[in-house]
Amino acid sequence: MNFDPIFFRSQFPSLQSEGIYLDSAATALKPLVMIEATNRYYLNATTVLRSKHSQALALDAQYELARVLAADLINAPFNHEIIWTKGATESINLVAQSYARNRLQSGDEIIVSELEHHSNLIPWLQVAEQTGAKVIKWEIEADGTLSTQHLQLLMTNKTRIIAVTQMSNVTGYQPNIAKISQLAHQYNAIIVVDGAQGVIHDAMDVQRYDIDFYTFSAHKLYGPTGLGVLYGKSELLQQMNCWQGGGKMLKTTSFTDFKPANLPYKFEAGTPNIAAVIGFYAVLDWLKTLDSNTAERYTIDLVRYTYKKLCALPNIKIHSRANSPLLSFSFTDIHHDDIAILLTEQNIAIRNGELCAQPLIKALNCKGVIRASFMPYNSQTDADKFLFAVENALSILK
C-alpha cells in the first residue's frame, strides 16, 4: 500500500479553488467518495430500520456495515458498542447524563485535564452541579504536558471519572492514555477519552488501552458533519438510562411504562442522520486503501518544514508540540486577530482565538493563538504560501 500525495490531494474537490486550507483541525475536507455516496442516498432516499421493501433492506445492511467499520477502526470488541450521535460533543453529554448523573454522589470527584476542549469540560461541570460532585482540575506542566505523577496525587477514593483528550486541539500534545487508563482502573474509576482531534491521526485501540468510553466526530475524519461515534464498554452501556425517548429505542410501551431496545438502539431514538452514516461508510471503506502511517509522516514533515521557517520570525511564541500535525503560535507584540484578518485577505484559511479551550489558553499565558493545521492533502506549496502570507502580514502590521 503506497501513499501518493498528489493523487490523494486530487480526491478532494474543494482543493480546486485558489485558497490554501490549513483549518483541518476544525473540520477535514471531504473526499469525492463521501460526496458521491451522500448524493446517491438523496437520489434514492428511504429510511432505515423500519420498512421491509427491498430498497430499505439494502440500505439497512449498508447502515449497519458502517457501524462494523467504525468498530473495526478503534478495535471495539462488539459492533453494538458503537452508538451514533450528532458528534463528539453529544457523545460526551450522553455519558455525563446517562452514566454519570445517576451514579455520582455529593463529594465524588471528576478529574478533567486542563488541555480539554469545552466539549470535554462543560458536560462535567453540569453533571457536577446536578449531583453535588466536584470537578478537579488536572493542571498542565510548565512545558504544556500532563504528568501522570501529578494525576496520581490528585486521585482519591472519591475519584469516579477521568476525562482527558487524546490530542489537544491547541497544542497537538497527546497524553499517555495507557498510563492514565491504568491509574483510573487502579482507583476503580472510569476513563472517558475525547478522540475528536486525535482519531484521524492515530485511531485509538480501545481494547489495548482498556478505554471505558471513547468519542469522536465523523467530520474530522473526512466524513460528514452532524455525525459522531460513542464507544462504550457493553457492561457500562447496559447499565445506562436511555438518552432520549422516541421511535425505535424501545421494545414495548404503554401509557405507564416502556421497555428499552437492545444496544445500540436504546440510545438512537428517532430517524437517524442516514445520509451522514452512509457517507461515513464510504469514508471508512476508502480509508482502508490509504497507507495511514506514511500519510501521517508526510503531514508531520510538512509541519516541521513550516515550523523551522516560522521560528525565524521576530517575537513569535510557538505553543504546539513537536511532531504534531498542527502549528499554534502567537506574537508577543501583535494581536492574533490582526494576523488572522490579513491571512484571510490572502486566501489562507486558518483558525485563531481561544479555540474553545479557554482554560488552556489562560494556562499558556496568551490571549489567543493562530493555528495552522495540516493534513495529507496539503503540500509544500501550501506551506510556502502560508509562510509568505504571515511575513506579509507582519510587514504590514509593523
As its CATH architecture, domain 5-28+291-397 has Alpha-Beta Complex (3.90)
pLDDT above 70 for 22: yes
- Place 141 in a pLDDT band, splitting at 50, 70 and 90: very high
pLDDT above 70 for 282: yes
pLDDT in tens, 225-257: 999 999 999 999 999 999 899 999 999 999 999
Q: What is the pLDDT of residue 212?
A: 98
How confident is the model over 108-121, as a mean pLDDT?
A: 98
Percent of the chain with pLDDT over 90: 93
Q: What is the pLDDT of residue 137?
A: 98
How confident is the model over 44-49, as a mean pLDDT?
A: 83
pLDDT above 70 for 377: yes
Active-site residue flag, 311: no
Cα(349)–Cα(372) distance, integer angstroms: 8
Q: What is the pLDDT of residue 190?
A: 98
CATH code: domain 34-287 is 3.40.640.10
| Domain spans of the chain, in order of start | 5-28+291-397, 34-287
Q: What is the pLDDT of residue 58?
A: 84
Q: What is the pLDDT of residue 1?
A: 66
pLDDT above 80 for 300: yes
* Mean pLDDT taken over the chain: 96
Q: What is the pLDDT of residue 2?
A: 79
**Would the CATH topology of 5-28+291-397 be identical to that of 34-287?**
no
pLDDT above 80 for 49: no
pLDDT in tens, 354-376: 999 999 999 999 999 999 999 99
Q: What is the pLDDT of residue 46?
A: 84
pLDDT above 70 for 19: yes
pLDDT above 70 for 221: yes
pLDDT above 70 for 27: yes
pLDDT in tens, 163-205: 999 999 999 999 999 999 999 999 999 999 999 999 999 989 9
Give me the catalytic one of 242, 311, 356, 366: 356
Q: What is the pLDDT of residue 353?
A: 98
Q: What is the pLDDT of residue 51?
A: 80
Q: What is the pLDDT of residue 211?
A: 98
Q: What is the pLDDT of residue 188?
A: 97
pLDDT in tens, 79-96: 999 999 999 999 999 999
